[in-house]
Chain A
């Protein structure tokens, strides 16, 4: 990782799902984004273990290294793939909800909007809901608009329209002062 060659930085949690799926044996070529994550979710659905791999907050960031280390370690100990997938998903849910709860506390907020492609994962949402419930946090998720690329397109279009509207309002206002 120290040699910055053939590496891209990313902020997408989807890449963590890709990495975990690959470590669990999903090594075929993906034909669409989210394929590995779908596979992983379905694996996780087949298990009922309650443990969560560690996904701790370090400073202002969630550290994914212990999470993936746990996947590797359990894989080496021949733990069933489904259980590993489940513990990985629970780890993501636990880490995220702890980070969100900490933020909400320091900012005095109680409403959380969850969006982005990863929240198409219903199992992950279920886990997060269960973790948020006792904390009294209200969760908003996508309903009318998809949480992934479709929603991003709509947001971009809305921003562009809003920008145009502002430009028009601005030139109207300028015209008014000149008149």
Chain B
């Protein structure tokens, strides 16, 4: 997926919502997983140029990085991975491919102008 296309649809969605509620958007909040396949810098840059000439011009994209969380079959609980190249429990070393978090690409909130 391409960051510009993603940024364009984020702007579309936020604009639609802003028009519907007759408000002005100050910032769009987004959760971005480490496994989303999206490069954060590219998305931030794309967002800025995607906003040009729209109601969202000058607004910010606030990105919350979501780390990779897996279920460890050895420990029986969720664990956070340090590296996306190593799908093993950081504590017991058990292999795991059960991803609980890290694929997010989700708009979580719109911050409005007063």
| A residues whose Cβ falls under 8 Å from a Cβ of B | 31-32, 34-35, 38-39, 41-42, 46, 120-122, 146, 150
Contacts and interface: CB of A to CB of B under 8 A. Distances in A.
B41 A38 contact: no
Chain B interface mostly: helix
A38 B1 contact: no
Nearest to A37: B4
Given A38-B46, A39-B49, A42-B49, A32 B5 contact: no
Interface in B26-74: 37, 39, 41-42, 45-46, 49-50, 52-53
A121 B42 CA distance: 13
A35 B42 contact: yes
Given A39-B45, A42-B49, A42-B52, 17 more contacts: A31-B45, A32-B41, A32-B42, A35-B42, A35-B45, A38-B2, A38-B4, A38-B42, A38-B45, A38-B46, A42-B4, A46-B53, A120-B5, A122-B2, A146-B1, A146-B37, A150-B37
B5 A122 contact: yes
B104 interface: no
B110 to A, nearest CB: 23
Given A31-B45, A32-B39, A35-B45, A41 B4 contact: yes
B41 A31 contact: yes
Nearest to A120: B2
B3 interface: yes
A51 to B, nearest CB: 23
Most chain B beta-carbon contacts within 10 A, residue among A34, A38, A121, A150: A38
A80 to B, nearest CB: 14
Given A38-B46, A38-B49, A42-B49, A121 B2 contact: yes
Nearest to B38: A146
